[in-house]
Amino acid sequence: RASDSFVRRMTRHRRMVDGESLDRRAQYMFELGRFAERSLPSMTPERARAYYARLCRVLEAAPPEVARTSELTIPMRSGTCPGRAYYPPGAEAGTGAVPGLVYYHGGGVTIGDIDTHDTVCRRLCVAARCVVVSVDYRLAPENRFPAAVEDCYDAYNWVRDHARELGIASDRIAVGGDSAGGNLAAVVTSIARDEGMPTPYVQLLIYPGLADVDHAGRQKPELQTGYGLDRKTTNWFGENYLLEADHDDPHGAPLYLQSHAGLSPAIVITAQFDLLSDEGVEYVAKLEAAGVPVKHVHFTDLPHGFVTMSVLPRAREAIAELAAELRNALHGE
Active site residues: 179, 274, 304
Q: Are 101 and 124 in contact (CB under 8 A)?
A: yes
120 Cβ contact list (under 8 Å, min separation 6): 178, 307, 308, 310, 319
User: Please, which residues bridge with residue 16 across strands?
Assistant: 21
Cα–Cα distance, 33 to 257 (Å, whole number):
39
3-state secondary structure of 130: coil
Tell me the one-letter amino acid at 313. P
* Strand stretches in 120-227, DSSP E: 131-135, 168-178, 203-206
211 Cβ contact list (under 8 Å, min separation 6): 253, 255, 256, 279, 282
